[in-house]
Amino acid sequence: MAKQHRVVWDGNMAASQAMRQAQIDVVAAYPITPSTPIVQNYSQFVADGEVEGEFVMVESEHSAMSACVGAAAGGGRVATATSSQGYALMVEVIYQASGMRLPIVMNVVNRALAAPLNIHGDHSDMYLGRDAGWINLVANNPQEAYDLCLCAFKIAEDMRVRLPVAVNQDGFLVSHTAEVGEHLEDADAYGFVGDYTAHNPMLDPAKPVTYGAQTEGEWHYEHKMRQNYALVNAVPVVEEVLKAYSQLSGRDYAPVECYQTEDADELIICMGSVVGTTTMTVDRLRKAGRKVGMVAIRLWRPFPKEALAAAIKNAKSIAVLDRSCPMGTTGALYNETAAVMVENDKSANLINYIYGLGGRDTTTEHLEGIFDDAAECTKAGKRVKPIIQTINLRGKSLSFYE
């Protein structure tokens, strides 16, 4: 295991330090709350001569991702950061980046989407880009924001993948919350990420070609299916990189994290900063003799179906937490879980909870209430609660459609 140093970092500093250690060629960015400190910190590293790459300030987030696309196509190691409305403005070019198979790394500090305007954290922006063809990792705390950012470069640049990677962390709850953590020495961190050799860079003055040309029905289908094939088959590469990083750092990571699941009758499935609160809740209820557990999703895209199926195989009732308001349907994580259950002939009582919108607090008391709801379903042998509910809505627990 490599030598490490103890530090007190928030999630933004953790991400920016990982970017510094990866020795990026180009960072193009436009600041937006709550991700601004990531690029601000990085610009300071540039000003202080700690990195040799270029830092490009642009006029919008759309331009930031456009600059990243150009730099990556030219063969550079490239990264950026954004949040919320900035992410939304990037979306057009986010699809271009994945469609062109460019290994860009983007730290997304998750924040609610307007309207109404809100600067605090939920998963609206992460859900907005879930089908954009990017690999999406989810960090639950500042330590993971650092670790997963380093892993993201190695995953994206692997020739079996060659796809952009987003590392998500909850706005303010992770990005601005300082915790004790550990970081690798610069040489070890860079040694793990490795030198970047741009195999067949798209933009080569000696071999001029056209990219981004129009394709209609006779070719578009093949392009998108090959892209999706690469994304779906990235799961083993993600697992391989996370395992290698665990051996280096001593911190174990997997696409799906299981906590007290083996004998659990009731499970909560969640991702993001609520994972820590849920872990505490499980511990409290376990001491009271309750068979409860938690499943945390660390790999949002491609969705780790097989790992989730194995994690929930023994549960009788499952509560799925979505930190984004589902317009006209149930939550996205709930829908993914339901699909996994159908595909694996798994029968369990399934309930969806919408929580934490716009930074609303979610406490251990709320989570205990969810486990209580799940236990009622287990006892009755069927779902006895509304299929979708909200928690912490002015101190009440209401049916979503109430």
Per-residue pLDDT, averaged over 329-346, amounts to 98
Is the confidence at residue 199, as pLDDT, over 80? no
Question: Based on the domain organization, do 186 and 263 belong to the same domain?
Answer: no
Residue 349, in any domain of the structure: yes
Per-residue pLDDT, averaged over 339-363, amounts to 97
Residue 205 pLDDT: 83
Is the confidence at residue 347, as pLDDT, over 80? yes
Cβ atoms of 22 and 153 closer than 8 Å: yes
Total tally of structural domains belonging to the chain: 2
Residue 200 pLDDT: 67
Question: Based on the domain organization, do 311 and 358 belong to the same domain?
Answer: yes
Nearest to 147 by CA among 139, 136, 158: 139
Residue 107, in any domain of the structure: yes
Residue 208, in any domain of the structure: no
167-197 pLDDT, tens digit each: 999 999 999 999 999 999 999 999 999 999 8
Residue 397 pLDDT: 66
Report the greatest alpha carbon distance in the chain. Answer: 71
Show the domain range for 301: 256-399
Residue 38, in any domain of the structure: yes
Per-residue pLDDT, averaged over 297-311, amounts to 98
Per-residue pLDDT, averaged over 32-43, amounts to 98
Residue 238 pLDDT: 98
Question: Based on the domain organization, do 221 and 323 belong to the same domain?
Answer: no
Question: Based on the domain organization, do 28 and 139 belong to the same domain?
Answer: yes
Binned at pLDDT 50, 70 and 90, residue 355 comes out as very high
More confident residue, 90 or 399: 90
Binned at pLDDT 50, 70 and 90, residue 213 comes out as confident
240-254 pLDDT, tens digit each: 999 999 999 999 999
Ramachandran assignment for 172, one of left (phi > 0), alpha (psi -120 to 50 degrees), beta (any other): left
Least confident of 208-222, 277-291, 313-327: 208-222
Least confident of 217-226, 272-281, 378-387: 217-226
Burial of 282 (0-12, 13-18, 19+ CB in 10 A): buried
Is the confidence at residue 160, as pLDDT, over 80? yes
Residue 189 pLDDT: 98
Binned at pLDDT 50, 70 and 90, residue 203 comes out as confident
Residue 205, in any domain of the structure: no
* CATH number, position 263: 3.40.50.920
Q: Over the chain, what HEC string results?
A: CCCEEEEEECHHHHHHHHHHHCCCCEEEECCCCCCHHHHHHHHHHHHCCCCCCEEEECCCHHHHHHHHHHHHHCCCCEEEEECHHHHHHHHHHHHHHHHCCCCCEEEEEECCCCCCCCCCCCCHHHHHCCCCCCEEEEECCHHHHHHHHHHHHHHHHCCCCCCCEEEEEECCCCCCCCEEEEEECHHHHHHHHCCCCCCCCCCCCCCCCCCCCCCCHHHHHHHHHHHHHHHHCCHHHHHHHHHHHHHHHCCCCCCEEEECCCCCCEEEEECCCHHHHHHHHHHHHHHCCCCEEEEEECEEECCCHHHHHHHCCCCCEEEEEECCCCCCCCCHHHHHHHHHHHHCCCCCEEEEEECCHHHCCCCHHHHHHHHHHHHHHHHHCCCCCCCEEEEEECCEEEECCC
Question: Based on the domain organization, do 240 and 314 belong to the same domain?
Answer: no
More confident residue, 307 or 204: 307
Question: Based on the domain organization, do 118 and 260 belong to the same domain?
Answer: no
Question: Based on the domain organization, do 285 and 169 belong to the same domain?
Answer: no
Q: What is the mean pLDDT of the chain?
A: 95
Residue 310, in any domain of the structure: yes
Is the confidence at residue 395, as pLDDT, over 70? no
* CATH number, position 108: 3.40.50.970
Cβ atoms of 22 and 77 closer than 8 Å: yes
Question: Based on the domain organization, do 244 and 260 belong to the same domain?
Answer: no
Cβ atoms of 82 and 204 closer than 8 Å: no
Residue 185, in any domain of the structure: yes
Residue 122 pLDDT: 97
Is the confidence at residue 212, as pLDDT, over 80? no
Question: Based on the domain organization, do 241 and 276 belong to the same domain?
Answer: no
Residue 206, in any domain of the structure: no
Tokens representing residue 167 in the block: 């590392």
Is the confidence at residue 49, as pLDDT, over 90? yes
Least confident of 34-43, 119-128, 194-203, 264-273: 194-203
Residue 178 pLDDT: 98
Instruction: Return d(Cα 233, Cα 240) in angstroms, integer.
Output: 12
Question: Based on the domain organization, do 221 and 282 belong to the same domain?
Answer: no
Burial of 402 (0-12, 13-18, 19+ CB in 10 A): exposed
Question: Based on the domain organization, do 78 and 183 belong to the same domain?
Answer: yes
Instruction: Return d(Cα 174, Cα 272) in angstroms, integer.
Output: 9
Angle in degrees, CA 189, 194, 199, rounded to 5: 155
81-124 pLDDT, tens digit each: 999 999 999 999 999 999 999 999 999 999 999 999 999 999 99
Residue 401 pLDDT: 61
Question: Based on the domain organization, do 32 and 152 belong to the same domain?
Answer: yes
Cβ atoms of 73 and 93 closer than 8 Å: no
